[in-house]
Amino acid sequence: MNTNRGLLIVLEGIDQSGKSSAAQRVCEMLEKKGIQSIKQPFPDRSTDIGKLIDEFLHGKNLPQQVVHLLYSANRWEVAQKIKETLEKGITIICDRYAFSGIVYSIANGLDERWCNSADSGLPKPDIVFFLELSLEDAEQRRKTMKTDRYENIKFQSKVKCEYEKFKDSMKWTCIDARQSKEEVALEITSIIEQQLPQLSNQPIKTLDLI
């Protein structure tokens, strides 16, 4: 059994809920407390698969099934690195994970069971934080930002609806994303700090979505 490994933390939420900024701030806050941590965005656009995803987000036409598998492959290509990093005692803050893959693809009309299978077997997150924001608040934030093909209220309402199902069935930790960036990050950091002693002594589990 691994002792004192890092934690795999996932931030999920609709677009504009503040995941990326929270991931950055939480890492900084943990580091200040002496807890080594790194952030891992998904999609990870630095890889070859990530570059294809980026082209898709900016207009390239691909079948939805291919899109789903690309996002999943993008997670699988760093799965081993995630495990090794956790084993070194470093906590990872993921900006999105398999759950984004599933909710976005179901919102695009794909079959739920088919969607679940591609990400099953990935390292299982220790804590999933769901940054809760209304569609109206997200739309307000969107007005000042550059957007991609998924960032419109009609699509985001489907995504939100799928997220709600996960949130309840998987006991996610909900965070009020209307708070300031600082407050959101502080809340997440203090929960991680609280849970770290207990969770870091447990083996890394495997995500079972089927």
Return the residues of window 47-76 that contact ligand DGP according to CB under 6 A.
Answer: 57, 67-68, 71
Q: Which of 8, 9, 10, 15 binds ligand DGP (CB under 6 A)?
A: 15
Nearest 5°: phi and psi at 136? -65, -45
191 contacts 26 by C-beta, under 8 angstroms: no
Comparing CB distances to ligand DGP, the nearer of 66 and 174 is 66
23 strand-pairing partners: none
Comparing CB distances to ligand DGP, the nearer of 164 and 193 is 164
Comparing CB distances to ligand DGP, the nearer of 62 and 191 is 62
State the angle between helix axes of 48-57 and 64-76 in degrees (0 to 180), rounded to the nearest 10: 140
Q: Which stretch binds ligand DGP (CB under 6 A): 83-91, 144-152, 181-189, 202-210?
A: 144-152
Whether omega before 43 lies within 30 degrees of 0, making that bond cis, reads yes
Comparing CB distances to ligand DGP, the nearer of 40 and 100 is 100
Comparing CB distances to ligand DGP, the nearer of 127 and 159 is 159
Q: Does 160 bind ligand DGP (CB under 6 A)?
A: no
Q: Which stretch binds ligand DGP (CB under 6 A): 78-86, 95-103, 180-188, 191-199?
A: 95-103
How many Cβ atoms sit within 10 Å of the Cβ of residue 108? 16
How many Cβ atoms sit within 10 Å of the Cβ of residue 210? 9
Size of the residue set binding ligand DGP (CB under 6 A): 15
Q: Which stretch binds ligand DGP (CB under 6 A): 21-29, 101-109, 134-142, 165-173?
A: 101-109
196 contacts 35 by C-beta, under 8 angstroms: yes
The Cα–Cα gap between 197 and 179 comes to: 27
Q: Which stretch binds ligand DGP (CB under 6 A): 80-88, 128-136, 143-151, 191-199?
A: 143-151
What's the half-sphere exposure (Cβ side, CA atoms, 13 Å) at 18? 24
Q: Which of 17, 40, 85, 105 binds ligand DGP (CB under 6 A)?
A: 105
Nearest 5°: phi and psi at 29? -65, -40
CB-count exposure of residue 137 (10 Å: 0-12, 13-18, 19+): middle
The residues of the shown chain that bind ligand DGP, judged by CB under 6 A, are 15, 42-43, 57, 67-68, 71, 96, 100-101, 104-105, 148, 150-151
